[in-house]
Amino acid sequence: DPEMTAELKLQAPDLFTFTSQSGVTHVDGISDDKDFEEMRNSLSILHFTEQMQHEVFRIVAGVLHFGNVKFRVQKIDNAEDGAAVSNPEVLAHAAGLWGVDAAELEKVLTYKSMGSREVILMAYSQTQAQDARDAMVKQVYSDLFQFLVDKINIELSIGGAQRHSFIGVLDIFGFEHFEVNSFEQLCINYCNEKLQFHFNEHIFRMEQNLYKEEGIIIPGTAFVDNQPTLDLLELKTTGVFSMIDEEINVPRGSDEGLLQKILTKHAKHPNCVRPKPRECKDALKNFGISHYAGIVFYNVTNFLEKNKDQLHSDITAVLAKSNVPLVSNFFPPEVDDGQGKGGKKSAKKTLGSQFKSQLNDLVATLNSTFPHFVRCMKSNDNKKGGQFTSSRMQDQLRYAGLVEVCRIRKLGFPVRRPFDEFFKRYRCVNLLSPNLDHLLQFLQEKGVLIAGEWAKGHSKVFCRTEQSGNLEYARETSLTKVVTIVQKNTRRMIARRKFKTWKKILINVAEAIKNREEEPLAKIIDLAFELPSGGGHLQIIKDAKLLLARLREEKRVTQLLEKAIELRNIDSLKSAIAVHAAVQPPFHTPLAAKAQQVLERLEAELAIKVALIAAIAARNKVQLKETIDKCI
C-alpha cells in the first residue's frame, strides 16, 4: 500500500534496527505483499475495523522507528554524564505515530523523576536511555500482541456460550545453547525444563501409574527426573531466579556478586556447575546448570539489568495521554488501593518473577488438559530437502527427551490391549477358546506367549514390542488359513452359480435353434457373453450364430419376394426370384412359387398386349380374334 507506506514512512527492512539484527531480510519463496494482503483480509473477516487496523499498523510502525532512535552522551556540569536524543526527527515521527508529545517522551526517556513530594529529575546514562526505550517498545508491542490474541479469541468464540472445553496449541522456542548464553536463554531453557517436567509427568509417571493400577511390576524403569533442576531454578529464597531478584534489592548488588552467591550457595548441588577455564568463554563470569538436555553455561553480565522491569512510571504516564485510543488503553490509570499517599507501594515484579508466574499459570492450564505432544525436528541447518545430519538429529532427539521415551518404552510394555479387544483380535488363533484365560493358556502352550515378555493386568494385556509382533504373526498365520478356506468356498459357490447360469443359457440356445425364431435366438446369443470366452469356442453357439444369419437372410429374401409380388413389376420379380435361387442351401418358401406364377402371368399378359397392338395395327381380323380368345 504505497499511501500507507508514505504515511508511516516505512523503508526497507534492513534500514530498521529491530529487523536487521540477523542480517537476513529476504527469504526466497515468501511474498511479503501477498502475506500482508492475506493478513488484512483475515483482520476484516475477524471484524477489525479499518480504524482499528490503522491503529495497529501505526503502533507497529512506531516500534520500528523507535528502534532507530539514537542517544548520545550529554555532558552535565557537576554530575555524571546524561543522555540526549541524537536524531530528534526520528523520535518526533515515532511519537507522532503513537499519538504522544515528542518533547515529553524525550524527557522521560532521558530523565526519571525521583521523590513524591518534591520531584527531582535524575539523568539517564546513554545505556540507561537505550534500555528505557527498549523497555517501552517491548511493553507496547507485548500489549498489542495480547490485544490481538484477545480480540481474535472473542471473535472466534460462540457468543454468549460458556466455554466448557477448548483446543489449545502451545508453540515455544526450543532448548537454546549458544556460545554465550544470557538471561534470555536462562528463561527459555527454564520454560523448556518446566514443560519437560510436564512431559515426564504425563508420559513416564502416567506409565508408572498405569502399571501400578494394573498390578504389574516393571523393574528398572527409573527415568531422568528433572525436578532437582527445577528446584535449583525456582525454589523460593535459594532458587536462581529468587537470588537474582534478591541481588537487585541489596545495596551495591552486582552481577559479580550474584555469580559468587549462586556458586557458593549451590556448590554441592548436582545440577549447578562451576565452569572450568576451557569449558566456556569468560568462564569466570559464568555458572552452569545441568539441564535435561545437557549442561549450559550462563554469562551473568547484565543479568540484573535485564531482570529489572525498567518501564518507569514517567513513561507510562506519557503513553497514557496518547490520542491513539489503542495506545492509551494499554496504560489505564492506576486504581487507588485505599492506602492513600502514606500507603506503601507494592514492589514491582521483576521480569524473572513475571516469567515464573506466567509459566506456572501455563503449566496449571496444561495439567487440566489432555495433551498431545508434537516434536518438530530439523534434518539439517541449510533449509534444504534431502539432507540429513545425524548428529544434528541426535541432539534434537536428546533435547526433546525422545531418547528417554524410547528407552522407557522399551523397558516396559508399550503394547497394551483391553481384555475384550485382545480376545476378539487373537481368538482366531484358537477358535475353540471360550474365554480370555483359555486363550492365554493356549498361546503359552504353543509358545506364542513367552514368559517375561507379556503380563496380564486387571483390565489389559501388556506386551513388549517383539512379543506383540509374535502375536500378530500367529494371528496372520491363522487368518491366512481361515481366509484360504473362505476363498475356496467362495470360489466354489461363484463357480456353481456361473455353471448354473451357463447351463441355462445353453439350454435356451438349443431351444431357440430348435424353434428357429430369430428374435429369441438373437437375445440368447447376446447373453452368451457370460459364457467363458463369450462362448465363441462352443459349437452350439457357432451353430446358433450361423442359424441367426440364415434366418435373417431368409427374412430379407421373403421381404423382397413380398414386395415384388405387391408391386407386380416384372424386373422386381425376376430380381427377387434370382436372389431366392442364389440362397444356399436352397430356401423353400411358397412365396417363391407365387412370385414365379405372378411373373409368368405378367409375361403372358405382356405378350397378349403386344399381339393385340400388332393385330390392331395390321387390322387383321383373324389375328385379332385369336389374340382375344387367348385372353378369355
Task: Give a yes or no: residue 177 inside a domain.
Answer: no
The more confidently predicted of residues 106 and 28 is 106
Helix (H, G, I), strand (E, B) or coil at 328: helix
388 and 297 in one domain?
Answer: yes
Do 253 and 395 lie in one domain? The reply is yes
Q: 423, 323, 302, 352: which is closest to 102 by C-alpha?
A: 323
Please give the pLDDT value at position 278: 87
| SS3 of residue 515 by DSSP | helix
Give the model's confidence band at 441: pLDDT under 50 very low, under 70 low, under 90 confident, else very high.
Answer: very high
Full residue range of the structural domain in which residue 417 is found:
413-498
506 assigned to some structural domain: no
- For residues 150 and 29, membership in a common domain is answered with yes
Q: Are residues 149 and 269 both part of a single domain?
A: no
Higher pLDDT, 407 or 122: 122
Residue 176 domain-assigned (yes or no): no
Q: Based on the fold, state whether residues 98 and 228 are members of the same structural domain.
A: no
User: Is pLDDT above 70 for 220?
Assistant: no
Show which of 498, 528, 562 is a domain's final residue.
498
Q: Which amino acid is at 162?
A: Q
Task: Give the tens place of pLDDT for each residue, 180-210.
Answer: 999 999 999 999 999 888 887 887 777 788 8
Express as a percent the part of the chain with pLDDT over 70.
Answer: 94
pLDDT at 341: 44
Nearest to residue 411, comparing CAs of 344, 464, 477?
464
Mean of all residue pLDDT scores within the chain: 87
Neighbouring CB atoms inside 10 A of 228's CB total: 13
Cβ-Cβ contacts under 8 Å for 475 (sequence gap 6 or more): 425, 426, 428, 429
Q: Residues 55, 150: one domain? A: yes
CATH number for 285: 1.20.58.530
CATH code assigned at 488: 1.20.5.4820
- Is-above-0.85 flag for pTM? no
First to last CA, the chain: 115
- Exposed (0-12), middle (13-18) or buried (19+): which is 497, by Cβ within 10 Å? exposed
**What is the CATH classification number for the domain harbouring 6?**
1.20.120.720
| Cα–Cα distance measured from residue 215 to residue 409, given in angstroms and rounded to the nearest whole number | 18
In a domain, 340, yes or no: no
**What single-letter DSSP state applies at residue 456?**
E
If you average pLDDT over each of 23-27, 90-94, 114-118, 579-583, which comes out highest? 90-94
Which whole number is the average pLDDT over 527-545?
Answer: 87
Q: Is the pLDDT of residue 532 over 50?
A: yes
Are residue 115 and residue 220 in the same domain, yes or no?
Answer: no
- Quick: pLDDT tens for 272-330: 999 998 888 899 999 999 998 889 999 999 899 888 866 788 899 999 999 999 999 99
Contacts with 301 (C-beta within 8 Å, 6 or more apart), sequence order: 182, 255, 285
Same domain (yes/no): 441, 385: no
Q: What is the pLDDT of residue 342?
A: 45
User: Which pLDDT belongs to residue 340?
Assistant: 45
Both 320 and 390 in one domain: the answer is no
**Mean pLDDT value across residues 204-218:** 83
2 prior amide bond cis, ω within 30: no
pLDDT score of 221: 57
- Number of compact structural domains in the chain: 4
Strands 294-299 and 71-74: unpaired
> 289 with 271: CB under 8 angstroms?
yes
pLDDT of residue 292: 83
* Domain shared by 239 and 321, yes or no: no
Shared-domain flag, residues 403 and 424: no
Q: How many Å apart are CA 461 and CA 416, to the nearest integer?
A: 6
Identify the pLDDT of residue 359.
92
Asked whether the beta carbons of 412 and 468 are under 8 A apart, the reply is no
Q: Is residue 351 part of a domain?
A: no
Average pLDDT over residues 253-269: 94
pLDDT on residue 153? 85
Residue 224 shares a structural domain with residue 299: yes
327-375 pLDDT, tens digit each: 999 988 765 554 444 444 455 678 899 899 999 999 999 988 888 888 8
- The answer to the question of residue 522 being in a domain is yes
Res. 581: pLDDT tops 80: yes
Burial (CB < 10 A; 0-12, 13-18, 19+), residue 284, is exposed
How do residues 478-515 score in pLDDT, each as one tens digit?
999 989 999 999 999 999 999 998 899 899 889 988 98
pLDDT of residue 78: 60
Indicate whether 232 belongs to any domain: yes
Please name which of 425, 404, 413 lies closest in space to residue 467, comparing C-alpha atoms: 413
Residue 163 lies in a domain: no
Mean pLDDT of 407-416: 80
* C-alpha span between 632 and 619 (Å, rounded): 20
Does position 427 have pLDDT exceeding 80, yes or no?
yes
Going by C-beta distance under 8 Å and a sequence separation of 6 or more, which residues neighbour residue 12?
25
The Cα 35–Cα 53 span in angstroms is: 15
